Chains A and B, each alone.
Chain A
Amino acid sequence: EAEVAQSPRYKITEKSQAVAFWCDPISGHATLYWYRQILGQGPELLVQFQDESVVDDSQLPKDRFSAERLKGVDSTLKIQPAELGDSAMYLCASSPMGQPYEQYFGPGTRLTVT
């Protein structure tokens, strides 16, 4: 069964450092999402891509966060500089064309900022 891949699974970084997360969606899925999930809460959408274009980044803290999906396949989410409050699970999801609610989530990257 096809799955969304994410790496690394865990990342510990010091505040003010840069950190990057990678996501490979299910093959053929045009829509890709990055969510942030703080412990004990539901996921919160950070950015949504349709192919290589950003369609929604209204909740992305653009002063320190950036996301790209250059070839419309895999994607990278970057934080620079990291802050203590960025400690969370970062989830990637993808959905097939025409079915935006059918989102398949990856295992996530657990970020700890010290």
Chain B
Amino acid sequence: GESVGLHLPTLSVQEGDNSIINCAYSNSASDYFIWYKQESGKGPQFIIDIRSNMDKRQGQRVTVLLNKTVKHLSLQIAATQPGDSAVYFCAENIGGDYKLSFGAGTTVTVRA
């Protein structure tokens, strides 16, 4: 698989490999994080979420890891498929309300 240490705006992955998308968040008080997938011409689509009292959560082919010490979030996609090509955003809640703040996004391109 291919991994990135810090947030990069683009990620190119060979079909079948694992993908790791990283995100650094800013607010140490944030207690809820979400990953969204946005395909070209569409609105963001919920992938998976995690609360701050957890450090790992798994979904179907996806795993989110949360490191509160360094305020880092990652999304792992297993066996990346062409349909995974999209822009991926992490989002965190801000303060005590329900407002979400989105990161800059990572464009994932899957190579056949």
Contacts and interface: CB of A to CB of B under 8 A. Distances in A.
Interface of A: 4, 40-45, 48, 56, 91, 93, 100-108
Given A101-B34, A108-B43, 7 more contacts: A4-B43, A42-B102, A43-B102, A44-B102, A45-B100, A100-B98, A101-B93
Contacts of B15: none
A103 B45 contact: no
A107 B42 contact: yes
A103 B105 contact: no
A105 B45 contact: yes
A102 B105 contact: no
B98 A101 contact: yes
A109 to B, nearest CB: 10
B99 A56 contact: yes
Contacts of A4: 43
Contacts of B83: none
